Amino acid sequence: MRMYDLINKKKNNLKLTKEEIDFIVQGYTGGEIPDYQMSAFLMAVCFNGMDMEETTNLTISMRDSGDTLDLSRIQGTTVDKHSTGGVGDKTSLILGPMIAALGIPVAKMSGRGLGHTGGTIDKLESIPGFSTSISGDLFFENVNKIKLSIMGQTADLAPADKKIYALRDVTATVDCLPLIASSIMSKKLASGADAIVLDVKMGSGAFMKDYDSALALADTMVKIGNMAGKNTSAVITDMNQPLGRNVGNALEVIESIEALNGNAPDDLLQDCVWLAALMLISAGVASDIEKAKEMALATIKDGSALKKFAEFVEAQGGDSSYVFNPSKFKLGEICEPVYAPCDGIVTKIDAQEIGICSLILGGGRETKESIIDLSVGIKIEKKLHDTVKKGEPLCLMYANSKEKLEQAKERFINAYTISESETEELKKHKAVYAYITRDGVNVIN
Ligand code: URA
């Protein structure tokens, strides 16, 4: 086989066989295929796509390029939740304790954040003492004992994806459905859970900007997962504004604690409840979606999810007094509002820009080596549909540098569209749009 012929085949929109896809993935990972040939191939995929069989074969080939985790030491059915990434997305911090409180094991290997979206591990490290650098033995012991543990990723999962993703990043080939779906699913399939629930974000802060493309991605990933033998389902959720109100590491932990205390903003609560319901169905403890949602909500109402969060924090060395008294969290020393420039209704928010404001304040990483400031961030005061008066705060910014604060403020104002009345587009806005299982798509009204 020659890489030249395979690039040409995809350029001519012909279907690649499993052997040909394996040749490309193994050849590139092993260093025999150079970057320039792989770049040409990836661009051909961007223009001509891949069908379901090719996309699944690409996923399996990348999954098999490295370690596959063995979670068989965990008692019970493990369900992994994955989000395609969003601003203010703290659902893992809320869902983990909700699911664990119902006795279902949550064993999560998580990464650090890069760019405008934060990572779960960074957020958790804003709790003094909390460590995700724990041994595999302690991880499994905690999951079996308290049903919840989160550790930093140590295994070499899907190294082919790591290398290909880095190349996609510099060759404008990231935003391509079969490449995104296979990239995400190769890592999820390698991470060993029995079932997978995907939170596919849609909107201004997500990869997928509209419903049709989010649905196509969700549907492709659900099919890949099920074809690979894992019960996989997905929810399409909104990312046309930051999820909840807080963006930034410590601020997101504070909001998660408030949510576990029963005070979540509606979009955040809905997102968590739908994801939790699909996780409960995947774990086999519920069969009806409405009952599953009730079970999930009950863990917040009866306080068991909050208690579970405190137990989890303590088991990983964290100071659980912060869970019961979140005013102890250290926030940026400068706290200033950003004021509305006119009267009206908030009709549009560029969520990605809000994420970039948090990055500018120091809350995110520009490169893998950047050191982040866990105490900075943004507390959103006005969300979509809200009425504002000129001079009212749109948000509060927490910063430790006046210069960074001024830069972030200017960008924040430009991320908001304030209109005289609700737009047609805004009238269609929802927190959760649809869920997809192996049986098909269910639109949520
Ligand atoms: N996240 C991934 O892991 N891969 C992509 O291609 C896009 C988002």
Amino acid type, 365:
R
Question: Where residue 114 falls among pLDDT bands split at 50, 70, 90?
Answer: low
Nearest CA to ligand 1 atom 5: 180
How far is the CA of 49 from the CAs of 43, 280, 422, 427, in angstroms? 9, 34, 37, 33
Q: Is the dihedral of CA 142, 147, 152, 155 positive or negative?
A: positive
Q: How far apart are CA 128 and CA 24, in angstroms?
A: 46
Distance 183 CA to ligand 1 centre (A): 5
Evaluate: CB of 183 within 6 angstroms of ligand 1.
yes
| Average pLDDT estimate for 395-423 | 97
Amino acid type, 53:
E
Instruction: Answer yes or no: is pLDDT of 389 > 70.
Output: yes
Nearest CA to ligand 1 atom 3: 184
Distance 55 CA to ligand 1 centre (A): 14
Q: End-to-end CA distance of the chain, in Å?
A: 51
In whole angstroms, what separates CA 86 from the centre of its chain?
A: 6
Secondary structure letter of residue 226 according to DSSP: H
Strand partners, 114: 117
Portion of the chain with pLDDT greater than 70, in percent: 99
Distance 61 CA to ligand 1 centre (A): 16
| Average pLDDT estimate for 320-331 | 97
Evaluate: CB of 259 within 6 angstroms of ligand 1.
no
Q: SS3 for 195-222, per residue?
A: EEEEEEEECCCCCECCHHHHHHHHHHHH
The pairing of beta strand 387-388 with beta strand 246-247? unpaired
| Average pLDDT estimate for 371-400 | 97
Residue of 171, 207, 224, 239 with the most ligand 1 atoms within 8 Å of its CB, for mutation: 207
Instruction: Answer yes or no: is pLDDT of 113 > 90.
Output: no
pLDDT of residue 367: 77
| Average pLDDT estimate for 164-174 | 93
Nearest CA to ligand 1 atom 7: 180
| Average pLDDT estimate for 93-110 | 94
Q: Which two tokens stand for residue 34?
A: 């150079």
| Average pLDDT estimate for 259-281 | 97
Distance 329 CA to ligand 1 centre (A): 32
Any idea which residues carry the catalytic annotation? Answer: 82, 161, 168, 183, 187
Per-residue model confidence as pLDDT tens digits over 19-39 = 999 999 999 999 999 999 999
Per-residue model confidence as pLDDT tens digits over 197-249 = 999 999 999 989 999 999 999 999 999 999 999 999 999 999 999 999 999 99
Nearest CA to ligand 1 atom 6: 180
Q: How far apart are CA 354 and CA 352, in angstroms?
A: 5
Nearest CA to ligand 1 atom 1: 184
Distance 339 CA to ligand 1 centre (A): 35
| Average pLDDT estimate for 124-137 | 94
Q: Which atom of ligand 1 is nearest to the CA of 174?
A: 6
Question: What Rg do the C-alpha atoms of the chain give, in angstroms?
Answer: 22
Secondary structure letter of residue 337 according to DSSP: E
How far is the CA of 150 from the CAs of 108, 210, 297, 313, 383, in angstroms? 5, 32, 22, 10, 31
pLDDT of residue 365: 83
How far is the CA of 323 from the CAs of 254, 305, 314, in angstroms? 8, 12, 10
In whole angstroms, what separates CA 227 from the centre of its chain?
A: 23
Distance 327 CA to ligand 1 centre (A): 35
Q: Please tell me the least confidently modeled range out of 120-129, 149-158, 196-205, 380-389.
A: 149-158
Could you give the angle at the alpha carbon of 62 between the alpha carbons of 59 and 67, nearest 5°? 125
Q: At a CB cut-off of 8 Å and minimum separation 6, what does 307 contact?
A: 101
Give exposure, 249-259, as e/b (b: 16+ Cβ within 10 Å).
bbbbbbbbbbb
Evaluate: CB of 184 within 6 angstroms of ligand 1.
yes
Residue of 184, 186, 198, 221 with the most ligand 1 atoms within 8 Å of its CB, for mutation: 184
| Average pLDDT estimate for 63-80 | 93
CB 174 within 8 A of CB 168: yes
Mean pLDDT of the chain: 95
How far is the CA of 376 from the CAs of 35, 61, 294, 363, in angstroms? 38, 41, 35, 6
Question: Where residue 43 falls among pLDDT bands split at 50, 70, 90?
Answer: very high
Instruction: Answer yes or no: is pLDDT of 255 > 70.
Output: yes
Q: How far apart are CA 343 and CA 419, in angstroms?
A: 8
What are the φ/ψ torsions at residue 31 (nearest 5 degrees)?
90, 5
Q: How far apart are CA 314 and CA 311, in angstroms?
A: 5
Q: Which two tokens stand for residue 247?
A: 């963006």
Evaluate: CB of 180 within 6 angstroms of ligand 1.
yes
Q: Which atom of ligand 1 is nearest to the CA of 168?
A: 6
pLDDT of residue 445: 86
